[in-house]
Structure 1
Amino acid sequence: MAKYYIDPSAENFQAFKDLPRNEPIHMLNLLRFREHAEYPEGHEHHGNGWSGQRAYREYGKTSGPIFAGVGGTIVWRGSFQTMVTGPDDKDWHDGFVAQYPNSGAFFEMIKNPDYQKAVVNRTAALIDSRLMRFKPGQSGGGFG
């Protein structure tokens, strides 16, 4: 049975927090949307018939100003086409790399009360995701 991930485990989040906090970070996001968004009972968007992709657009709309306010930018975005190396059961719908000036900016964003309201849209939208932190390296040139 496939295992799905929406939020970090306590252990993974602690590993993230233990890394240096004063250097730029890149966060690779891989997203797999639900066919129908699953909002909690009583939420303003519960029962509105949105697709997961539509709910994720709402997440982007409501969290975007907070993300930009902490200095975040999207440095790459792409739409999945096919798996070349990896498990066949992972057909990601969307992927992007978010850049933050440092991990403190990421923490500031996720602690923001307005972000905490917005993230409900992300949870409703996704059936599976990956969020991976990278230290930015040089771009251009070859593989070495």
Structure 2
Amino acid sequence: MTEVYIDPSPANFQSFKDLPRNTPIHMLNLLLYRDLADYPEGHEHAGKGWSGRRAYEEYGKTSGPIFKRVGGSIIWRGKFETMVTGPEVRAWHDGFIAQYPNAGAFFEMIKDPDYQQAVVNRTAALTDSRLIRFAPGEAGEEFG
């Protein structure tokens, strides 16, 4: 069985926190949606029959203002087509790269009480995900 990841492990999150907090960051997001969103019992969206994709759209709608307020922006977005290198058992629905002015902005976002309510939609939406931090590099025509 393939391991799935929705939230960071304590060790991975500590590694993130140990990196510099005052430099720009890019966060690669890979998303695999549930067929049917899995909300906790009693949540306002439980029982609505939403797809995982619809629940993720709600996450975007409710977290978007906070993301923008901390200086975040989406710099690339794409729809998965096929795995060229990697496990054949893993296909992603969507991917995007979020840019933050610094890691402090990311921390500000995830600590915001409104964001903490919004993230329930993300958890309900996804059956697997990856969130990978990169330091921005130079774009160009060469690989190296």
Report the TM-score range of the alignment, normalised by the length of the smaller protein: over 0.9
Does residue 1:28 correspond to 2:54, yes or no? no
The count of corresponding residues between Structure 1 and Structure 2 is 144
Structure 1 unaligned regions, length at least 5 = none
Shift of 1:41: 0.2
**AA aligned opposite 1:110:** I
Equivalent in the alignment of 2:101: 101
The residue number in structure 1 matching 2:71 is 71
Matched, 1:56 2:56: yes
The Cα offsets for residues 87-130 of structure 1, whole Å up to 9 and x where unpaired, read as 01111000000000000000000000000000000000000000
Measured after TM superposition, the shift of residue 142 of structure 1 is 1.2
Distance (whole Å) between structure 1 residues aligned to residue 25 and residue 18 of structure 2: 14
Counterpart residue type for residue 112 of structure 2? N
Matches of 1:114 and 1:22, distance apart in 2: 24
Which amino acid counterpart does residue 41 of structure 1 have in structure 2?
E
Please name the residue that 1:120 is paired with: 120
Which runs of 5 or more residues in structure 2 are unaligned?
A: none
Report SS of the residue matched to 1:3: coil
- Give the aligned partner of residue 131 of structure 2: 131
TM-score, structure 2 normalization: 0.99
1:141 CA drift (Å):
1.6
Aligned match of 1:16: 16
Deviation above 2 Å: which 4+ runs of structure 1? none
| Alpha-carbon distance in structure 1 between the residues aligned to 2:2 and 2:84 | 19
Indicate yes or no: 2:45 matched with 1:45: yes
For 2:87 and 2:3, the matched residues in 1 are separated by 13
Residue in structure 1 matched with residue 85 of structure 2 by the alignment: 85
1:2 deviation in Å?
1.3
TM-score (norm 1): 0.99
CA distance in 1, matches of 2:58, 2:139: 32
CA distances 1:21-52 after superposition (whole Å, capped 9, x unpaired): 11000000000000000000000000000000
In 1, the alpha carbon distance for the partners of 2:54 and 2:105 equals 26
- Percent of residue pairs bearing the same amino acid type: 74
The 3-state SS of whatever aligns with 1:47 is coil
- Secondary structure of 2:133 counterpart: strand
